[in-house]
Amino acid sequence: EVQLVESGGGLVQPGGSLRLSCAASGFTVSSNYMSWVRQAPGEGLTWVSIIYSGGRTFYADSVKGRFTISRDSSKNTLYLQMNRLRADDTAVYYCARGGEYTGYDPFDYWGQGTLVTVSS
């Protein structure tokens, strides 16, 4: 059974850092296109970042240069390192699984989300 379990969220001051983790089971993280999607309180869904199965990475303009997506195959875990956090980064962060061979697939599995609150 495919499962994604996020952790690492919490309260952080503006300018601070946080690393989110997404532990996967039932499939191999490095075999799929894996994304982070966030949802600000009371708002809709916004794509944040993706890592291709081949390792290439992309970021939304709003987080480029501040966030870094990565994975650890030995732990079958996806990460999102978030630096220079701002108040508008406050959101629930979801990891989501895309396809195996291309980026032209929907997100078929999602984690339960982890809340990041940026506030002084």
- CB nearer other proteins, residue 16 or residue 105: 105
Q: Give dist(CA 107, CA 37) in Å, integer.
A: 10
CB of 33 to other proteins, least distance (A): 8
Question: Among 13, 73, 112, 119, which residue interacts with other proteins (rule: CB under 8 A)?
Answer: 112
Q: What Å distances lie between residue 12 and 6, 18, 71, CA to CA?
A: 17, 8, 23
- Cβ count near 107 (within 10 Å): 17
CB of 48 to other proteins, least distance (A): 10
DSSP state letter for 8:
-
Judged by CB under 8 A, the stretch of 14-22, 23-31, 71-79, 94-102 that binds other proteins is 94-102
CA 76 to chain centre: 14
Interaction site with other proteins (CB under 8 A): 33, 35, 44-47, 50, 52, 58, 94, 98, 102-108, 110-113
